[in-house]
Chains A and B, each alone.
Chain A
Amino acid sequence: MIFRKKLRYILVEASEEVRMDDVRSLDSLKEQFSSFLGQLPNFKANPQVAAQLNDRVFVVSVNRGYERNAILVLSFIKNLDGKSLGFYTLRTSGSMRSIRNAFRKLY
């Protein structure tokens, strides 16, 4: 039997401009996820930035079952790489296609 990892995608808007392809911002986000969730749950959730859709909006992917924890953690993150900002979670979905559709409808 082949184990298939299923992901949930969260559409996230930042209150300020943020580039998640910048290594320092990405590391800071991962570090804060690990800090809030704890190392083992963070390893299980495996949060990753799946795509950057514009200068404030990006997509976070987590393993299925951990999306609620990820939304909670994103509520508590108030700075990234020394810059003060907040994150708003807009949609959660099981496929990247529906996240992109939601993004097109919202913006």
Chain B
Amino acid sequence: MQFFDLVAMRCDSLEGLAGRLGYKKIFCAGRDLDIVENLSASPRRKILRSDDFETITKALKQNDVIGVMPEGASVSNKTFDAIKNSEKILFIAFSPVTRAETGSRIQKLAKVRSLVRNTLRSKTPFAIITLAEDGSEIMSGAQMLEVAGFFGIPQKHAKEALHRLGGLL
């Protein structure tokens, strides 16, 4: 199964690195797609970053929105249902947790674990990405699988979640 990742950084040096890290391709926010906080007119495909249910339901009706990334970590059951029914996906980013300082790390780990549990329970399709903001935050495919396992995502689901982004772009 081929893995894909999404990062939010300069992508000049990622071509060779993607293969070494076990990815088919690393997509870049700002080049391959946009991450937006409200519905703006942009020619590229978009991921909506919002916690507001109204904004999310509006966005899910648009063809160029491929999925939703929760800004906080709490997503309501209504939002899960809306995402599932619209056949879009939920994006879960790992680098905000791995780069967290010692003080806030436990809190962020608990939030992501809760998000993962609720996502798995609601059977909403999801993708896991690093969303790295610099080179130190990127993780290899093997690391993503281990971190996913640490959050309670079964290996099979984790592999599907790493593969899912490739089918959308």
Contacts and interface: CB of A to CB of B under 8 A. Distances in A.
Interface in B138-162: 138-140, 142-143, 146-147, 149-150
A106 B136 CA distance: 20
B20 interface: yes
B137 interface: yes
A42 B116 CA distance: 28
Given A76-B98, A78-B99, A89 B142 contact: yes
Interface in A77-92: 78, 84-86, 88-90, 92
B143 A89 contact: yes
A90 B138 CA distance: 12
Contacts of B136: 15-16, 78, 84-86
Nearest to B97: A76
Dominant secondary structure at the B interface: helix
Interface size class on chain B is 10 to 19
Contacts of A72: 143, 146-147, 150
Interface of B: 17, 20-22, 98-99, 134-140, 142-143, 146-147, 149-150
Given A72-B146, A74-B143, A84-B136, 18 more contacts: A15-B134, A68-B149, A71-B143, A71-B146, A72-B143, A75-B98, A75-B143, A75-B146, A78-B99, A78-B137, A86-B136, A88-B20, A88-B138, A88-B143, A89-B140, A90-B20, A90-B22, A90-B140
Interface of A: 13, 15-16, 68, 71-72, 74-76, 78, 84-86, 88-90, 92, 106
